[in-house]
Amino acid sequence: MKKLEMMGKLPLDKQEILLKSVNTRTYFINRINDLKEQMLQLEEKFHENANGKVRIQNYIYPGTRVSIGKSSLNIKEPIQFCCLYKDSADIRIGSYDK
């Protein structure tokens, strides 16, 4: 349609359709960019507020990777009856609590 418009051979009804299509495309591109920005802000808030705990009753074995928010910890030796929690940017091992 754009080629026909440049050549001046696009009928009036098709010009209206082209204009509506271009406006709709622009609207949705802007909407997608706004939603992407909003999603990044929400992910940032989510990672800031990630205060999860992992309670280990039995064993957690070497080679296990524990992630809480953006922090992660690779387990190097077997541990049991403890609690893994996020402390600022690190994951700490504490005493077991129910």
**What is the model's pLDDT at position 70?**
79
Domain count of the fold of the chain:
2
Same domain flag for 63 and 88: yes
**pLDDT at residue 25 in the model:** 94
Residues 6+ apart with CB under 8 A from 66: 54, 60, 72, 73, 75, 84, 91
Domain range for residue 23? 2-47
Interval 92-98 mean pLDDT: 87
**pTM (two decimals):** 0.51
CA distance 94 to 39: 33
pLDDT in tens, 13-72: 887 888 898 899 999 999 999 999 999 999 888 777 667 888 999 999 999 999 887 788
Tokens encoding 47: 């990672």
Answer yes or no: are the C-beta atoms of 63 and 75 closer than 8 Å: yes
Pair 57, 76 in one domain: yes
- Judge if 6 and 40 occupy the same domain: yes
